[in-house]
Structure 1
């Protein structure tokens, strides 16, 4: 009969209260059913490769991203959070197992006559002195009658999966920021060189103007105007160099290195990397499956839904099966004799009834938390689609702007050459020459800035697409001297 009762109680442990989690509909969208609205030039419908930065075919960029994924402090922090979540899951799973403990004691006791009524009645004034030795083994097992333990494990498992997705999200961000810092380093160097080349051309114009003024074909005003244009170009060189070095310092921090450990290969870059092929972007459904922030939000929703079940289980009785085996005696030898053996076994039932105000309040809290997680999930999905559409729109706009600026730069070069030729022949005034020089400087600077903007728009698009975490190395602290 006792065995039958125990088996029946154990079989009821499969019952779980609370809502069963259902994946939100948008996360189960069929492939191809979500399409991007903004379709810019130079795009490929094929899926995004795991290591998208390798599309640039730049060994320096490949190495920098690999170092950042392995040693960046933010990635290591996210990895530690994942390890912590896994430890919590292991703790919750331990609740399914019997809890056991060993204990032992050795005591010396003395009882005074005042505490011994029998001795006082007989007139004896002697104290009672005893030694007592005991050892025991305790065991308890919680019968998960209403699934509170199962729901707690389910919630912890959701937390682990959310932490894993957050680690992937950190990898996506760090890969993109490393590529962006590298692009900024190279672009600043290119803009610096363009400004230096423009200044060199204008310096020759100033020298020519000075020679003409000395020969009586020009005025001091012409010399000063040429010097102003030259100074304006020369003033931009230090600012671009400062931005280049600032980007180099950003790269060292991203790769887990101190500021003084500048990367020599990155410092030698003088042109931003470019893509020769269209960017593969896939479709909206693969985007939602790939974006780590969407996965993290969905797994957090699953965990918070399970916590509702944990709270609901507190409304019902808690049953624990308790058992104890003990040995005791006045000496170590007597303690383990048959006469010193004792045991106990039986259930412990606890139930907060009829006052269940606290339990019901916790249920409302858990349900509100699950509702908030659902709202965050919906917002994350919308943000993912928005990010890609915005990145596509900006990339398309920068490509179109770059084409126009390239034409403008070619025209300004030709116009400046013609103006100088006509000025040398006395057909144009010095004012026209200065204007053409200024137009050329502006066109060259705008084209260099546009090339930087195109490269950064590409990086922003890759980041919005959410790739770069699939084949990442295990994070590790960078050892000194490496």
Structure 2
């Protein structure tokens, strides 16, 4: 595998761990389903032609609680990166201290000769005397990054910041898909309820017609019972759709960070103006690596895990530090600011690991293992992304064919109704026959509405699988999807 070979070569060379490289993954040349050549639309939801959907997505991107949490996670990662980067820089602190010490009268002068005037230590003086000390200055320290540990820590922090950014973008893609799915499902339920209302009107008329015929002795109660059965079934289905529509409106409101009932009136006030996109370019499979934010995030997680190896590897070798201090120290405040009070200090330090029970080496091994896990996670994410697109293409193709068949069925039912109506005018068919033909047409329309709804959901799923909303060349920190509220 690529990663273990890099690890073995780089750690042995004391170069701060393996370098960050794009992992090599076999990608098919094209998707199995034929599709138009080109890139998928970034603002794909606009293809449905519904201004309210556009506004809902724009509002959701600005107010959704999950997305706002993702934004805060990006901010936290950036702050952490700043903290890590600051560790590479020299540290300078200003110091000032004044002390007044009365020496013990019971301590011999000889025992004080080993003292010093450093802060916190016992000053030198005769027993029983008082010693004043004044001190101002600057202390500086700097750890030399000879083996690249700090540099690789900065790389890891930057990679995690980038991963958090891509995770935020992925949250936005998921959000736009959920808003579109919920809205389109709401409109589909709304359409089915309207068809059910028409069908119930036809059922009621058929029941009245059957009752009149039974009272005149032209039929038995069988037609009445059949009509009552159909009415009861249609009412039960309609009530279920009403409940689903209400729940969908509540879910949409939550996605927009509104109260559950905060969107009901707005949805009811506007009628649907949606159309289903037909030709959807999907691009090349290799472009998913750039377009899908979840893949970009997984790749950045791998880069961070690789850099962590360098941090652990650098800990195997000695660390060097430089410290210094420039101070003015005096026993008299009036003589503190003078050349005679100048007291510079400079020191170099070395810390070399000798015996730690194998802890540092085990840490390197641990980081290597986690990097291999991150590589497998990335590879799995790529395969899942390819599967998502193939699944969406397959479902979309099947549901479009199904929709076409239901469209033919509806057209046939409409022709049958026209023929029955003509026969009724000619006295060759009864009013009940016309009502039955109307019911069949409305049932066919309901099946077509279901098929259209399934196709719409497939379109959303395909755009989501393609990483919709994020063109590969979009380098902005904010998504192209933010333009959805125009």
Indicate which of 99, 103, 113 corresponds to 1:111: 103
| TM-score, normalised via structure 2 length | 0.85
1:68 is matched with 60
Q: Is 1:108–1:132's contact at 8 Å kept on the other side of the alignment? A: yes
Please state how far the C-alpha of 1:79 moved relative to its aligned partner: 1.1
| Superposed displacement of residue 356, structure 1 | 5.8
Q: In the alignment, which residue of structure 1 is the partner of 2:91?
A: 99
2:58 pairs with 1:56 = no
In the TM superposition, residue 143 of structure 1 has moved relative to its aligned partner by 1.0
Q: Residue 24 of structure 1 corresponds to which residue in structure 2?
A: 23
Q: Which runs of 5+ in 1 are unaligned?
A: 1-14, 476-482
Counterpart position of 1:6: none
Give the equivalent residue in structure 2 for 1:458: 459
Deviation at 1:186, TM superposition (A): 0.6
Assess if the C-alpha contact under 8 Å between 1:54 and 1:62 holds in 2: yes
Whole-Å separation in 1 of the counterparts to 2:377 and 2:18? 19
Q: 1:119 to 1:379 in 2, by over 3 A?
A: closer
Q: Residues 171 and 78 from structure 1, CA distance in 2 versus in 1: closer, same or farther, beyond 3 angstroms?
A: same
> Following the alignment from structure 1 to structure 2, what is the Cα–Cα distance between the partners of residues 276 and 113?
97
| Shift, 1:334, TM fit | 2.6
Post-superposition CA distance 1:158-189 (Å, at most 9, x none): 11111111111011111111111110111110
Contact 2:202–2:439 (8 Å) recurs in 1: no
Name 1:12's counterpart in structure 2: none
Residue 179 (str. 1) matches residue 171 (str. 2): no
CA contact (8 A) 1:136 1:325 kept: yes
Segment of structure 1 superposing worse, 210-219 or 59-68: 210-219
1:36 aligns with 2:17: no
- Look up the match of 2:117: none
Select between 100-109 and 332-341 the one with higher mean Cα deviation: 332-341
Partner of 1:241: 242
Deviates more, 1:285-294 or 1:409-418: 409-418
Confirm whether residue 344 of structure 1 aligns to residue 345 of structure 2: yes
For structure 2, the residue ranges without an aligned partner over 5 or more in a row are: 1-13, 113-124, 480-486
CA 1:103 to 1:418, structure 2 compared with 1: closer, same or farther past 3 Å? same
Which residue is equivalent to 1:82? 74
Q: After the TM superposition, which residues 414-425 of structure 1 pair with which residues of structure 2 at under 5 Å, given as runs?
A: 414-415=415-416
Give the TM-score normalised by structure 1.
0.86
CA contact (8 A) 2:288 2:467 kept: yes
Measure the CA separation in 1 of the matches of 2:273 and 2:387.
27
1:255 corresponds in structure 2 to: 256
**Structure 1 residues 474 and 299, CA gap change in structure 2 (3 angstroms):** closer
Deviation at 1:289, TM superposition (A): 1.3
Q: Does 2:437 correspond to 1:445?
A: no
Aligned length: 450
Structure-1 separation of matches of 2:447 and 2:271: 17
1:171/1:469 contact within 8 Å kept? no
Instruction: Spell out, residue by residue over 1:113-168, the C-alpha distance to the aligned partner (whole angstroms, 9 max, x if none).
Output: 22334599xxx996222222212211111111111111111111111111111111
**1: CA distance, partners of 2:444 / 2:230:** 14
* Correspondence for 1:204: 205
Q: State the distance in 1 between where 2:90 and 2:54 align.
A: 51
The alignment yields a C-alpha RMSD, in angstroms, of 2.9
Q: Deviations 1:86-134 (Å, cap 9, x if unpaired)?
A: 11111222223211111212222222222334599xxx99622222221
Partner of 2:403: 402
What is the SS of the residue equivalent to 1:322?
A: strand
1:249-296 deviations in whole A, cap 9, x for unaligned?
A: 222111222223216443345557223541122121222210001111
Residue of structure 1 in register with 2:193 after alignment: 192
1:215-234 aligned within 5 A: 215-234=216-235
- 1:328 is paired with a residue of what secondary structure? strand
Question: Bigger shift: 72-81 or 405-414?
Answer: 405-414
**Alpha-carbon distance, 1:337 to partner:** 2.7
1:167 matched to which residue of 2? 168
- 1:325-355 C-alpha deviation (Å, 9 max, x unpaired): 1122233223333332211112111111143
Segment drifting more, 191-200 vs 228-237: 228-237
In the other structure, the counterpart of 2:304 is 303
SS at the partner of 1:273? Answer: coil
Secondary structure, counterpart of 2:205 in structure 1:
helix
